[in-house]
Structure 1
Amino acid sequence: MIISPPFLPTAGLTSTDDTQTDPMMAAVAEFELAHGIFPIAFDRRWHCGVHLMPNEQHEPVRAIADGEVVAYRIAKTAISDGRIDSTTGSPALNSNTGFVLLKHTSETGDGRTLTFYSLYMHLLDLVTQNGLAAQLNNPDADSSPIALAAWLLQASNPDPDGNYPVRPGNNLRVYRKDVLGYYGACHGQPHLHFEIFMTEADFNEYFVKDNRTQLGATSALTPESKDYWGCSYYVISNGQMFHSMPPGQTDSDHFPRLTDGQLASQSILYVQAYFHKGERYTRSWIDAGNGQMTLLTPTPVKDGFKHYEYQLYRRALELYPNCPSEGYELLRFGRILSTDLPTLPAGAAQSTWVAVTFNESGKQGYVDISQESVQKLSDADFPFFMGWQKIGDDNTPFDADGLCNFDELKKILHDVEPAGAPAKDEPEYKQEDVLSAYVKDKQAIRQKLQGFVCKAPSEWNSNHNATRYAALNEAGGFYAEQKDTNPNGYGDFIKFVEKFQFWDKTPLPSNEKLWFFHPLEFLRHFRKCGWLSVKELAQCIPRKVIDQTKSAAYQTVYPTGIVQWSTAFNRANKYCRYLNYAFRLYGISNSAVRLSSFLGNAIQETTYLSRTSEANGANLSYAPWYGRGVIQLTHEENYSRYGKFRGWVGSAASYRDSLETDLARACDSAGFYWVSCAKPTGREHNINSDADAVPVILQATLSNVCGVYNYHAKTCSIALSSMKFRVCKQFERTARAVNNGNPDSTNAMYGIVPRTNVFLASMAKLSDFIVDFNDSYMQKES
């Protein structure tokens, strides 16, 4: 699942903060406004989206994921909320009714399909928009990350009441990062109203069915499911002991000395662990028995063993010699997710000692998380202690009139501090003022609200207007108080509201409630997923390819140099599941640069996912040890190293051919190559030098992990193709490291052009960079 926020400012592409795991989401969070808080509006009604306003009006609104258009409205001009422009004396055109509603279906794991919707409301009208940003003379018919597509530039005439029509999607498709418009305003307040929601059926299928997640649970258990992504979490209790040094590891450089200690018997320790830029980080919270969690680590704590993630391979070899690959999983996940590994012998060999902060003084000690008493989860489980709360009909703070009850809200937030609640007999506006100040001015409360997953009616469905706004026209209500001076006030207000509403023009359920997420929290969470759908992987195969050999085999596969969508999809479908398991196990999908660098090599080496061995391998001088797998292992030594890592018994010849015939092994061996280098250089066991501590392939990739990649167009020097191709010096270092073990080599290298083509196509698909590579690279569903 590849997803991103509706704005992609350049400030979010990099960060100087090494602990900032998602600088783009941090940048977009700064756009959230105080008058559009999720899930409570200023008037105590449901507000199931957020209001976002970038610093620059010309920052485009973009699709957050690939999807299909459900409905949309293009307005030629803005409308008025009834206020008069003091300069012209005419009604102020201060509100925008334009919107786009998208449906997204993607995958978050093996057999785990997620269907959800995103709404972009108050998009700028065409008149104002055309004065803001020049549009292309020949715009794309359906989608473009560079400019508005043709369908977004066509406004119908309004009806006699000034309402612009809502149009059905009619099979229109968009892709992540496509421009949808620019943010407009409502009541003169510039912003984009942004929502993410799910229908009841889709929500139950993903979150409830077969207990696939722990959303709504009040305790945490290690799941039976092998579904895993994002951060790891450990729940530690029962007076657990912490050690300054794991037993038997006194002389090990893997375990810097820490502190002995013990958890109080009534306390529960919650630990979050994750890898970032090669280091291992943790955060800890403690519940001292009162049901309240106290943060022990104001900033994430970096493990004392440097380059922890990059040294996982070496660590696994030394700590789990009987089956390093199983140990590798324990070190990365805290549990074993694979099902085809030899089993480590019981006892000390299975122990997984990790450093955690365990008390208010910030002391760290080692704990063995392999114990059954330690519960082990991931972000895939939506654990309650990370703030996720399911707000349904049984625990909603909203009453029958659709107004939020202050006391009930405080109760589900576990907030026991006095907050100046108004007396019950005070006017309604006092209730609104107090609640508005409560949710706006307390950052801790707003943070808790971000974890709410709310079952609520849509404000864009006119069927709910009578319930939602009835109090405004009842005794003491805003419009009831104006009956004498503004007798049509309530009716005019409802007409204004209906100009934005569109629900009856969509195929969505007309009377049921929906499940809403804080949209930025939803994005922040699922951006950790990293599992590619088949369609997403297929888009990483460039539409046009160049192969320097122009061999007969190549011309048979791609006689025109064009990869058709059906070909790309079918090949991606064959490999996708197994590649995803390798991406997850070896941390390859932890960043777009890592994943694009891997695919740039793997897709080229498999001749665009068509084979798992070198062409004509049996006739090569080093046969029968020719290259097999997605990133091809060659020579007997490297096959033996892989077998040792997997814990296989027998000669390398006994399993050698399986790397060609078994897709799971073909993909897993490529992940092994990526983290081990598979070419002994005499450096991988030397940790005296920072550079030597990082495997050579990762050195090449990491050197520019946050940099801006420089792409230069070139033309073939010999008559291979009329297509111009691009070079990227940063990626070339990774490709050379994979190909010959030396990222700084300057020798002629086979396949550098097609590898770069795939890398660029993958970066265009997977990263947050806006790259215009035109049809030479972009693969679209036909």
Structure 2
Amino acid sequence: MVRMILSPPFLPARPSQSETAWLDAAMAQPTSRLSSTNAAEGSFPLSLQLAWHNGIHLQAPQAAGAYLPVRAIADGTVVFVHPPTVPDNDVHHALNYNPFNAGTPSPAWTSDGFVVIEHKGEIGAAGAVATEFVYYSACMHLGSLASHPRTRRPLKAGDFVYRKEALGTPGQIYGHDGQIHFEICCDEANLEKLTTRKRNWADPLAPQPPTANGRTDAVFGSLYIYLPAGTPTRSSQPTSHLRSAVHTGGAASAATDFFLPDTLRAAQWVQITYEHGSAILASYDKLGAPIGQPRNDSRYDYITVATMRPGASQSFEYDLSAVANDRHGTLDVATQATSSPSGWYELLRFGRNLGPDALPANAAHWRKVVTPDGGLWVDLNAPGTFKFSDADFPAITGWNCFDDDTTQTDQRCDSLRMKTLIRDPDRTNDRRMERAQLARRLGEPEVRHKLRRTICKFPSEWDQKDVEKRYGWLETEDFKSTDDDATGVQKWERFVKHAKAVTFPDLPEAFLKADWRFHPREFVGHMRQCGWLSCEEMKQIYKRDSANNAPVFLAIEKYQLALNRMTQKYLLNTRKRLPHIFGQGATESNFLKTMQETAMTGIAVNGEVHGTSGIHPQSKADESSFGHWWGLNPNERVDWHGSRKYNSNGGLISSSYNWRMGNLGNPDAQKFRGRGFKQLTGRDNYVQYWVYRGWLAASSFDKHWWSDPQYMARNAQGMRKIPGVVDNPEIVGTQPYNCMDAGGWYMVFQRSDVIREIDSDLDHLAAGAHEQSQETATSRAVTRAINGGELGWDKRLENTRAAKKILLDS
């Protein structure tokens, strides 16, 4: 089963910490340091004596005076288990080994409980094909093993475990209590699936400029846009959002130092991070060094004064919809025919248009950017610019692959690239490549920072085969370098005895072949930005009683990709927003089973009963199963506009649901009934959504265009319609992409204030009275925004809490 939600192996309480602060607390390394390097014990990817080290040592957090249990970081299958040995004070026991005092045996116990889990992750999709990869997590030095939560028996190979389920308790490492070794690894084929890096190493001192955009099958985290020298700039906000034919950029020549006016003189990168309502732009030179200070985009930078509203500064993410509408609206009528607010929204959101909706070929993406010449307006979509996201593991942010170790058969680091990365930057130091000096560099903060994003290939330290061979260099370089032969031999023998006690002869071959290794803290933090849910994870969220699971699961399989693309596009896949999206959507769409509300039948107008257009079985794929536009059949009257209005029971209408949201009576209430994941309802909402998608030209009608009773029989002059789309409101409920996209559009474009409300919600499940009160208030606000009232609010809250149990870390 394929999953992706990820969490750290320890789950401490999270009162009001940022994501970074909480992960640092959950995956803190020991305070003890190696005397030869001043690096934390058990660092990645190098540790004692400049040896390769699979992962990092973690100091378990405590609660109520006890160490927290070790938990599965993601759903997966246990592929190897080794129960821990009972501690023994015998100083000659192989697990009583102190590497920091190898000359004198001492009781420094190291626990040998070990659990390896195979995880299958999904991070996006290329068309209808999911992008999947396989990786392993390993927890070593467990003091005890947990029982399987369902079988109640000790964990064993073949057991399936869910994220957050206990694996055991932290044990000891060299006599230090409450510690574990934790690692993440994958094989080469899955490295390429995950990073698309193809094991490529990029020279950080001479980076090559990109020649193509990054991946589109997976997009998450921050955006990274490469701007070549010659990219168009402006000192003030441009009045046009279309690229000038005479100023397209790319005309710079560094060799001649010739640059057109208003262009960048040097290549640089721009990082855009959307988070908690903000849009933070940071600039870097081609080597990745910061340029100036990051700036926080403001709506005041982009929206004309006439459309401003108070309190909108420093909240550009909340205002993306307004900016998209504004840029589309500045175009003339002819150009709007090749454009859509949806296309502009994606340009702002992703730096490029990834969806199916129109965007002018010469669209400019003007943003206010820090450059070496100060703050300038720069076209981030000019020719020669290239766009990436954190899903590309971009080299400009420090990600790099290291597989140039000359031996590849032992645990000694002989990678020239790794040594170059950590060496003393002082070129006058002619000893900076010596092992002793390189080892001392491991404790430097700037080196530790660089090492977090190294992806390294080397053999597993847990393989018992050839232990003496893989560590043989220690015998001569460490144990005999300062001792007499007899003492050195004793140290070496004690080491080998210990090494064999903490290694295993029967590890799974697939795990041993997973020899590409990540810094575990960096991997967990990086991949938590993904937000893409697999079918299995969605099924966990919407799983109820067994009798109703089958139709729900079939619906999930139908809508999973479209739902993920919607939450990704509209920035709804954060840990705070996503539970509400799933909770409300469960009620609105009956757990994805119903994408259209039941229609009224037997509508009476002037006492005459007209045709019906009721709901039909969802299993039918053709659009005709959803009925048709009222008035198209011969027995359906269209002159009701000028008559007295009656409801479906024959009663005279004075004011009702049928006359809200732009509806003009019962027929409209049926035509524009709720459809899609969020049940888009009402003529006004449908029309605005059509305009947003570019299916209908806003410039060709005024707000009363729909009052024409003959509109469907004649195309108003100049009205641009997409045949089969505007003539079929059912398309919102029949095509998965439209079903989901309409829901995201409604939340972000029509109810952006509720997104702010959600962002103030709690990160954890409600506990005390205050937490429950805040959670309840947020859920009510979201319900009113979507439903117009509080219909079914108790169920919506229940479904939101069910989603939190799966999605959050509590």
Normalising by structure 2, what TM-score? 0.73
Shift of 1:240: 3.2
Deviations 1:642-682 (A, max 9, x none): 0010010339851311011111100110111111227xxxx
In the other structure, the counterpart of 1:192 is 180
Q: Secondary structure at the match of 1:124?
A: strand
Amino acid at match of 2:554: N
Q: Answer yes or no: is the 8 Å Cα contact 2:280–2:294 preserved in 1.
A: no
CA RMSD, 1 decimal: 3.5
Q: Is the 8 A contact 2:765 2:801 kept in 1?
A: no
Once the two structures are superposed, what CA deviation does each residue of 1:66-88 show, in whole Å capped at 9, x if it has no partner?
A: 1111111222523554469x9xx
Q: Distance in 2 between matches of 1:423 and 1:670?
A: 59
Distance 1:221 1:575 in 2: 34
Equivalent residues of 2:224, 2:271 under 8 A apart: yes
2: CA distance between counterparts of 1:52 and 1:224? 34
Equivalent position to 1:669, from 734, 739, 742: 742
Aligned to 2:82: 73
Q: Does structure 1 retain, via aligned residues, the 8 Å contact 2:85–2:112?
A: no
2:306 maps to none
Distance of aligned partners of 1:75 and 1:222 in 2 relative to their CA distance in 1, 3 Å threshold: same
Counterpart in the other structure of 1:517: 518
CA distance in 1, matches of 2:534, 2:183: 23
The match for 1:284 is: 283
Alpha carbons of 1:30 and 1:271: their partners in 2 closer, same or farther (altered >3 Å)? farther
1:391-446 CA distances to partner (integer Å, 9 max, x unpaired)?
01xx338787643359753424586325967599xxxxxx6543332111x11111
Following the alignment from structure 2 to structure 1, what is the Cα–Cα distance between the partners of residues 741 and 417?
A: 51
1:234 aligns with 2:228: no
Distance 1:281 1:636 in 2: 37
Q: Tell me which residue corresponds to 2:290.
A: 295
Which residue matches 2:606? none
Q: Deviations over 1:559-595 (max 9, x none)?
A: x8x544x554332211100101111111110x11201
Distance in 2 of aligned mates of 1:584 and 1:444: 33
1:541 lines up with 2:542 in the alignment:
yes
Asked if the contact 1:596–1:759 (Cα under 8 Å) also holds between the matched residues in 2, the reply is yes
Q: How many residues align?
A: 647
Q: Distance in 1 between matches of 2:390 and 2:105?
A: 53
Question: Is the Cα–Cα contact under 8 Å of residues 85 and 111 in structure 2 kept in the other structure?
Answer: no
Q: Structure 1: how far apart are the matches of 2:487 and 2:495?
A: 15
Q: Distance in 2 between matches of 1:629 and 1:346?
A: 30
> CA shift at 1:517, angstroms?
0.7
Partner of 1:614: 597
Distance 1:358 1:188 in 2: 52
Partner of 2:572: 588
- Return closer, same or farther for 1:242/1:630 CA change in 2, 3 Å cut-off: same
Aligned counterpart for 2:401 among listed residues 386, 390, 412: 390
Matched, 1:113 2:115: no
Larger radius of gyration: 2
Alignment partner of 2:50: what SS? coil
Distance 2:189 2:729 in 1: 47
The secondary structure found in structure 1 opposite 2:115 is strand
How far apart in 1 are the matches of 2:423 and 2:477? 33
Residues 1:401 and 1:673: Cα distance change in structure 2 (over 3 Å): closer
Cα distance 1:409–1:93, how it changes in 2: closer, same or farther (>3 A)?
closer
Amino acid paired to 2:114: F
Point out the more displaced range, 404-413 or 498-507.
404-413
Q: Residue in 2 aligned with 1:49?
A: 55
- Alpha-carbon distance change, 378 to 205 in structure 1, aligned in 2, over 3 angstroms: closer
Asked if 1:637 corresponds to 2:684, the answer is yes
CA distance 1:726–1:629, shift in 2 (3 Å) = farther
2:462 to 450, 460, 463: 460
TM-score under structure 1 normalisation?
Answer: 0.75
Paired AA for residue 564 in structure 2: N
The change in CA–CA distance for 1:659 and 1:326 in structure 2 (over 3 A counts) is same
**CA 1:422 to 1:543, structure 2 compared with 1: closer, same or farther past 3 Å?**
same
Q: 2:426 aligns with which of 417, 420, 424?
A: 417
CA distance in 2, matches of 1:455, 1:83: 28
Q: Call closer, same or farther: CA 1:329–1:655 in 2, change over 3 Å.
A: farther
The amino acid of 2:755's aligned partner reads: L
Structure 1 stretches lacking a partner, 5+ long: 127-134, 143-148, 153-167, 251-259, 425-430, 545-559, 679-694, 713-724, 771-782
Map of 1:130 onto structure 2: none
Q: Which residue identity does 1:386 align to in structure 2?
A: T
Please state how far the C-alpha of 1:739 moved relative to its aligned partner.
Answer: 3.5
Identity of aligned residues (%): 27
State the distance in 2 between where 1:518 and 1:660 align: 44
Q: Does 1:5 align with 2:30?
A: no
The letter of the residue matching 1:5 is: P
Find the partner of 1:366 among 377, 396, 399.
Answer: 377
Could you tell me how far apart the structure 1 residues matched to 2:429 and 2:150 are? 56
1:660 partner amino acid = G
Residues 436/474 of structure 1: CA separation in 2 closer, same or farther (3 Å cut): closer
Aligned runs of 1:9-24 on 2, under 5 Å?
9-11=12-14, 14-15=16-17, 22-24=20-22
Partner AA of 1:333 in structure 2: F
Q: 2:239 aligns with which of 243, 248, 251?
A: 248
Partner of 1:778: none
- Contact 1:213/1:381, CA 8 A, preserved across alignment: no
- Give the Cα separation in 1 of the matches to 2:599 and 2:791: 16
Residue 462 of structure 1 aligns to a residue whose secondary structure is coil
CA distance in 1, matches of 2:296, 2:208: 27
1:223 alignment partner in structure 2:
213
Amino acid of the structure 2 residue aligned with 1:10: A
- In structure 2, relative to structure 1, the CA distance for the partners of 1:96 and 1:298 (3 Å cut) is farther
**Distance in 1 between the 2:121 and 2:200 partners?**
17
Say if 2:79 and 2:116, in contact at 8 Å, map to a contact too.
yes
